[in-house]
Each structure stands twice: as structure tokens, then as C-alpha cells.
Amino acid sequence: MLIVEDQKLQMNALCKIINDLHRDIEILCASDQKEAYQIAMEYQIHIFLVDIILTTSQTGDVSGLRFVQEIREVKKYFFTPVIIITSLEDPKLYSYSQLHCFKFIEKPFNAKQVQSCVLKVLDFPVVFDEERYAYFRKDGIVYSARLLDIVYIENMRRKVIIHCVKEDMEIPYKTCEAIMEELDSELFLRCSRYHIINRRYIEQIDYTNRYVKLSGVETPIEIGGVIKNQFKKDLEENIYTTFC
């Protein structure tokens, strides 16, 4: 684990909280963006715990987010869980849509809150979803699609269209509940009666006008009025509820 925190008292407190879990966790620490990046390149980090503000003397500092943006450009860290510590009011939209952060812990935090979040990461089988496939049957033929390649699923009255990165697949009608059960992955979120999206492709969310913009998809996807609150809750609570 790499803890990125500029305040020594806070850093020591976080180290103690993690050590009190009595898990075999190696903790590395950095106090600024440059040092954190150097450590991330030198070691294999499995969890990042990052404060958004790393230079308190600088007005408007968000160098913690810039660090996360840096590591997301490194292939080995594209899916690594990032826990954000923040005293800012609402960094969530940018960070979820662009940086795919696992959880936000607002200051002042408490030990149980941090420990609960870290334990979820430790116990979550992230790696399995990265290379898992979903299988769909049509006319006696079984088709497969890698979960990470499925951008969104459109459930129409008589058919289901699975929109993937390279091509679309059409299968016989199923309910969204049945599809979600078959996918069995925290990558996917149901955002309306007719749409299931992959959180990895979220670019923008507009809760006021109720739509989600997905990467590579021209037309925004509606967020259902009835499901809006549950969608927002799922998005903010889990890594894939999932990313997503």
C-alpha cells in the first residue's frame, strides 16, 4: 500500500490504522506527487490511499488527483484500487468518471471508516473481473464477450443489444435483472429500465438532466427517475458496482 499524505500527523495516524488491521500489509509513504510517483514506479503497489490536497499552502491545490491521473496512465495501475481522502465538497464526479476511484473518505475520518474501506479492497477479487467473459446464446450458438469490452447493454422490447468496443451483439430478450445476474460483476450498473452500463466507460454524469455520457458513445444514456438515487448510491459505494 502507498499512502500519499503531506501532513505527518495524518500520515502517522493512517499508518497506525492500517497496522491495527493485523494484516500482512507493507506500507510505503510519500508526502508529495513527485515522491509518490517515484515509489509507484519502483514498487508494485496494490492499493493507493491518496489525499487530494498535498500542498496546503497552495490555494486550489489538487495535486493528489493529478498523481492519480498520472498513475492511471501507467498500464499496470489502470485497475489498481485508489482510495481518496478529501476535505473538498464534491470532487466525486470528476474522480469517478475519469480516474475510477474506489471510495472517498471525507475528513475528518475515523479509524473504523478507513479500516472498513481497506478491508473491502483487500477482500475484493478485482483481478477476476479484468479477464472474465460473459457468454450469450442465440440460435443455438454461444457467443462470448470480455466484460471489460462491454460498454453498455440496451434492453429493448424484443431483443437485447450488447454494445462492445469493436462490435455489437444482438441476443433474444431478457430482463435487466436476468442480465445483471448472469454478468455477476461489479463492473456493471443499471441506470434505467432499459440500460446497463459499464462504469469503466463513464465520462460524464449529469444528475440534474439525468443522463450518463459514455466514452465512444455519441448519444447520452438516460438515468431513470425511479432508479436515479440507487444508481448514485451504487456508483459511490463500490469499486465496480462498478469502477461501476
Name the pLDDT band for 15 (thresholds 50, 70, 90).
very high
Residue in the block written with cell 479477464: 131
pLDDT at 164 (0 to 100): 95
Alpha helix (H) residue ranges in 144-196:
176-183
> What's the chain's average pLDDT?
85
pLDDT of residue 240: 39
pLDDT of residue 241: 34
Kindly give the pairing relationship between strand 82-86 and strand 103-106.
parallel
Residue 221 CA to residue 117 CA, distance in Å, equals 30
Structure confidence at residue 88 (pLDDT): 67
Q: pLDDT per residue over 197-228, tens digit each? A: 998 899 889 999 999 999 999 999 999 999 99
How far is the C-alpha of 21 from the C-alpha of 9, rounded, in Å? 19
Q: What is the mean pLDDT of residues 46-72?
A: 87
Q: What is the pLDDT of residues 148-196, one digit of tens each?
A: 899 999 998 889 999 999 999 999 999 999 999 888 887 899 999 999 9
CA-CA distance, 122 to 18, in Å (whole number)? 12
Q: What share of the chain has pLDDT > 90, as a percent?
A: 46
Cβ–Cβ < 8 Å for 27, 39: no
CA separation (Å) from 117 to 81, 129, 138, 164, 210? 11, 19, 41, 31, 29
